[in-house]
Copies of this chain bind each other. A is one copy, B any other.
Amino acid sequence: MPRVHNFSAGPAALPECVLKEAQRELLNYHGCGMSILEMSHRSAQFSEVIQDAEDTLRRLIGIPQNYHVLFLQGGATLEFAGIPMNLMRTGRAGYVVSGNFARLAWQEATKYGTAEVLASSEDTNFDRIPDLAPVAERAAAGDLDYVYICQNNTIFGTMYHELPDCGSTPLVADVSSCFLSLPLDIKRYGLVYAGAQKNAGPAGITVIIVRDDLVGAGPALACCPSYLNYRTQVDKNSMMNTPNTFGIYLCGKVFHWIEDTGGLHAMEQRNREKADLLYGALDACTVLRPTADPASRSLANVTFRSPSSELDAAFVAGARERGIEGIKGHRLVGGMRASIYNAVSLEDVKVLASYIEDFDRSHRSL
C-alpha cells in the first residue's frame, strides 16, 4: 500500500522528506558510526542537534532572548500541573474553558490554588470560543498570576482568531494543535507550550517557550517535582536528565522543513488554502454539516457530521476505501474530524474535499 492521506489528530502526518532523511541516517548519524538513538545526550553531536533545533525554532517564530525554549517530556497533561506549580505565585489564576483540554487544565490547576473560570463555552458543547470581554475585564484587576487559554481546540475544531487582552497579566497558552501552523506573536504571551505530535514532530516532546521573568528563582510551589522546575530546566538546557533525544532530533528536522518551505507566513497561507477548500466543500453540503461556529473555525481541525452515527460510520468506511485515514471524530463528540496540519498537503485535502462532495451528493436523496 502506498502512503495514505493521513488526517490524524495527533500523532499526525510528518513531512515525507523528514521521514526519508531520518530513515537514511538511522543506523549511522552523519557518518559518526552510531544511530542518533544510541548517542549520549552529552555528546558533541547531540549538543549540536538540540542547539540547532532551538536556533531554528527561534528564527522561525522570532523568539527574543528574554524567552527560553525547553524540550521536555510528559505532554500537555504534565504541564497542566507544571504551569500552576511554577507560576501560581499568589495562588490565583484565570482559565478560559473552551474545550476538553482547557477544562482538564483548569481542573488540574484547582489542586494547586484558586483557578477561576473566566469564560466558558461548555453550555453549547464547546462549539465556539467564548466571548473574551469578561476575560479582559477580570485580568484588568491585576490580581491573577496568569490567564490560561487553549488556543486551538482539537476535539471541537475551534480556535482563537484574536487573543484576550490581558494587560500586564501573563497570558499562558496551550498551542499544541496550532503551533507552527501560522506566525506566533510571542511577545503577547508569558508562556506557550505545545505537544509536538501535531505540527512539530513526534509524540513524546513538549515544546515550552517561557518569558524569563516568569521562571524567576524557581517554582511557586515547594511540591513541584524537580523535573517540572522550569528554572532548573532552563539552566540545564532541558537536560537535567536524559531528554527524548530522537524526538528533539526529529523536531529539528521539521523546523528546518518549515523554514525551507518559506517559514510561518507561507505555512499559514497554505493552511488557509487547505481550510478554505474544506470548509467551502462542507458549506455547500446538504447532508454533511460543519459543527464549529463559523467565527471560531479552526485552521487545523475541521469537524463535521452527518445526521446519524450510521451515516458517519459509512463516511469513515468510504474514506478508508479512498486511502483517507484518521477521519473519525473524537469519542467525546462523534462525527468526523479532518486534521489538516502542516504536513498534510493540498493534494490530500483535495482528495478529501472531492470525497465529501461525492458522499453528500449521493446521500441527498436518501
Contact = CB atoms under 8 A, between A and B. Distances in A.
B202 A245 contact: yes
B11 A20 contact: no
A225 interface: yes
A28 to B, nearest CB: 6
Contacts of A204: 73, 204, 243-247
B40 A11 contact: yes
A73 B108 CA distance: 19
Interface in A310-340: 323, 325-326
Given A242-B203, A245-B204, A8 B39 contact: yes
A82 B81 CA distance: 13
Interface residues of A, number: 70
A13 interface: yes
Contact of A73 (B2, B73, B325, B326): B73
A335 B244 CA distance: 27
Nearest to A240: B77
Given A242-B203, A243-B203, A245-B204, A37 B8 contact: no
Nearest to A112: B223
A16 interface: yes
Given A3-B34, A226-B108, A247 B250 contact: no
A120 interface: no
| Chain A residues touching B, majority SS | loop
Q: How many copies does the complex hold?
A: 2
A193 to B, nearest CB: 13
A140 interface: no
A241 interface: yes
Nearest to A39: B11
A78 B227 contact: yes
Contacts of A2: 33
List the 10 shortest-distance A-B pairs measured between CB atoms, nearest first.
A204-B244, A81-B225, A4-B33, A73-B73, A77-B241, A223-B223, A78-B227, A23-B26, A75-B241, A1-B33
Given A85-B225, A203-B243, A246-B247, 19 more contacts: A1-B32, A3-B34, A6-B34, A6-B38, A8-B39, A8-B43, A9-B40, A11-B37, A12-B38, A19-B37, A23-B27, A37-B203, A73-B204, A78-B228, A80-B227, A81-B227, A202-B244, A204-B243, A204-B245
